[in-house]
Structure 1
Amino acid sequence: MSTMLGMGAAFMPMQFCTAPKKEEAAADAVVSKSKLDSFGIQLYSVKEDMGADAQATIRSLAGYGYKQLEGFDGGKGILWGMQPAEFKTLMSESGATMVSSHTNVYENLDAQAEQAAEVGMKYLICPWIGAQKTLDDYKKRAEEFNQIGEKLKSHGLRFAYHNHDYSFIPQEGGLGQDVLMDNTDPALVDFEMDIYWVHVANINPAEYLAKYPGRFRLCHIKDAEAGTGDPHQRGVLVGKGEIPFADLIKQSKGLGMEYFIVEQERFPTGTPMEAAAANATYLSALEY
């Protein structure tokens, strides 16, 4: 009987043994795609609105779908003139979290760190050091970053540096950004990749992320229109340019990226708040 069963299986009609149809495979591929659970916005994108009414602006942004916020010091401090208790109430009521803030980390760092820690921030970020004259100058900045990272660690915070294009412009046979990466302690210093500035500096963001896995924990989602020209004038709404964000998000999450933060600095049409709403709609629907 076992022999007959084996022979029966051998002559089973082919439709029971064929591979899945292409349509079924495609359906499985669609099901396997993911969406961002949460994403943020750099409040500098709506700086005028923040200056006019910070609380109302934050509530509106949360309503657009931004669950995470990254601040900047607009002259009123990293909490925009609010006391920590007031700020935490705003975050609780809006459903958002302030994960980080750009600030001058070379002044009043302890006081800023105390405020940041009290409201639950994870990072204080240096947004700018300017183009350095030599690679050795970049090495000196890296040493300073280690010291800043050590101080913030004592407050339970992380330190990160946000790039522009200048650190990706070749000089003396190297890149200033490489010097910063290679001479900072991963236990003390993380990095925030501004994808736009890497891209317009003619560096492949995906390749650079892979070169330094685990070092970039935050990124700025900012798109660039196709072509060349003034790098300050190529900004467009996310999804309207040439940067492949779906691929970048998928890859970067496998390399340690945790925070995806929209930043818009150029507004070809509409207001900054309209741009913020449009960018949130795009990211909410983006599959990777």
Structure 2
Amino acid sequence: MKERRAFLKLGAAFAAGSFLPLQFCASPKEETAEAVAGEAVQTAVKEKLSKFGIQLYSVKEEMAKDAKAAIEKIAGFGYNQIEGFDGGKSIFWGMKNTEFKKYTQDLGLDFVASHANVFENIDELAAQAGEIEMDYLISPYIGPQDSIEAYKTMADKFNKIGAVCKSNGLRFAYHNHGYTFEAMDGQMPHDILLENTDPDLVDFELDIYWAVTANADPEAYFEKYKNRFRLCHVKDRENGAAEGQADASTVLGSGSIDYSKILRTAKDNGMEYFVVEQEKFAGTTPMEAAQQNATFMKNLEI
């Protein structure tokens, strides 16, 4: 990818005009010409995401009523990936794993991952997920731990779960909420999880909304822990929401999070899966919001 961007920059530079020789001149006018050309290069390397998904929890009520009908609507909005959750009928929604895979695949959707209770029956669940070539099983919630040592113990559990997943041909990841970005005894719990898990066994799904809500810097994490964050939740935050307010998600593009900038940094540092999620709906239904969010993702340039 770096080589490709370098090539695009070079091509854009030549297309912008013969400004390269001006490097050898020192006049303000010439420096201005070079700066303008540089801005043109930066604009030229913008790209759109070819693949993006949705966390089905965003339309959980519709999933509970009729999972197949809900997924068919999702497919019609332009998503090409889905991330599931355990809605009480298993992550396969009352179907066999192979049946669910075929159903979603026939709709043009890749069932790449699912949130699941990875602390129970992980051997069976990983075997079923691996059989249909899912990429990830994800722990969606562990709850605030009462000490740094408890987070280290959790990291050990993650390593063991990751080993089971790896043996079945898939990966394990942890999805955060805000509490792992609240300092404890002068340390950040999320850093403890990152630094005490084996990169060969454990990845992370950064819920960008929750990180921002807790005043963490997503881009700084992507850069510091390069290639550890392979998935992310793309969820916007209401303009004017109070600091730390939890219930403030909104339709993408209507909030305060600069996803063009953040996702560029994410992709440059190893991000592979971009998953839409929304949990609060004002003046719209969850399904309408899902459609609007798909339109945003299709048009987003990073």
**Structures share a fold, TM > 0.5?**
yes
1:213-272 CA-partner distances (Å, limit 9, x unpaired) = 110000000111234255222211111111110111111111110000001001112100
- Which residue pairs with 1:179 in the alignment? 192
Aligned residues: 274
Equivalents in 1 of 2:163, 2:86: separation in Å?
22
| AA aligned opposite 2:72 | R
Structure 1 residues 18-27 or 37-46, which shifts more? 18-27
1:263 is aligned to 277
SS in 1 for 2:246: helix
1:48 maps to what in 2?
61
- CA 1:21–1:189 in 2, change beyond 3 Å: closer, same or farther? closer
Q: 2:127 aligns with which of 105, 114, 117?
A: 114
In the superposition, relative to structure 1, how do residues 118 and 204 fare at CA in structure 2: closer, same or farther (>3 Å)? same
Distance in 1 (CA, whole Å) between partners of 2:283 and 2:64 is 21
Quick one: distance in 2 between partners of 1:74 and 1:158? 21
Measured in 2, the distance between the counterparts of 1:252 and 1:280 equals 19
Distance 1:85 1:284, change over 3 A: same
1:63 Cα deviation (Å)? 1.1
Tell whether the 8 Å contact from 2:213 to 2:244 is kept in structure 1 after alignment: no
Alignment correspondent of 1:193: 206
Q: Does the CA contact (< 8 Å) of 1:102 and 1:125 recur in 2?
A: yes
Deviates more, 1:190-199 or 1:207-216: 207-216
Partner AA of 2:104 in structure 1: M
2:232 corresponds to: 219
| 1:156-195 per-position Cα deviation (integer Å, ceiling 9, x unaligned) | 1111000000010011011111110110000000000000
1:249 to 263, 284, 289: 263
2:185 is equivalent to residue 143 of structure 1:
no
Q: Which residue of 1 aligns with 2:5?
A: none
Tell me, which stretches of 5 or more residues in structure 2 are unaligned?
A: 1-20, 23-29
Alpha-carbon separation, structure 2, partners of 1:62 and 1:51:
17
Name the larger-Rg structure.
1
- Kindly indicate whether the alpha-carbon contact (under 8 Å) linking 1:149 and 1:158 is maintained by their aligned counterparts in 2: yes
CA contact (8 A) 1:78 1:112 kept: no
With normalisation by structure 1, the TM-score equals 0.90
Sequence identity of aligned pairs in percent? 50
**d(CA) in 2 for partners of 1:113, 1:183:** 22
CA contact (8 A) 2:48 2:298 kept: yes
Counterpart residue type for residue 203 of structure 2: D
Counterpart-to-counterpart distance in 2, 1:168 and 1:203? 7
The aligned counterpart of 1:63 is 76
Q: Which residue of 2 aligns with 1:158?
A: 171
Contact 2:85 2:114 in 1 (8 A): yes
> How far apart in 2 are the matches of 1:67 and 1:109?
27
1:100 matched to 2:106: no
- Superposed CA RMSD in Å reads 2.1
Secondary structure of the corresponding residue to residue 232 of structure 1:
coil
Give the gaps of 5 or more residues in structure 1: 1-16
Contact 1:87 1:119 in 2 (8 A): no
Mapped to 2, the partners of 1:211 and 1:31 lie a distance apart of 27
8 Å contact kept, 1:51–1:74: yes
1:143 and 1:183 in contact (8 A); partners too: yes
The match for 2:103 is 90
1:160 counterpart letter in structure 2: A
Task: Spell out, residue by residue over 1:134-157, the C-alpha distance to the aligned partner (whole angstroms, 9 max, x if none).
Answer: 111000000110011111111111
Partners of 2:97 and 2:197 lie apart in 1 by 31
Distance of 2:64 and 2:238 partners within structure 1: 29
Q: Give, in angstroms, the shift of residue 51 of structure 1.
A: 1.0
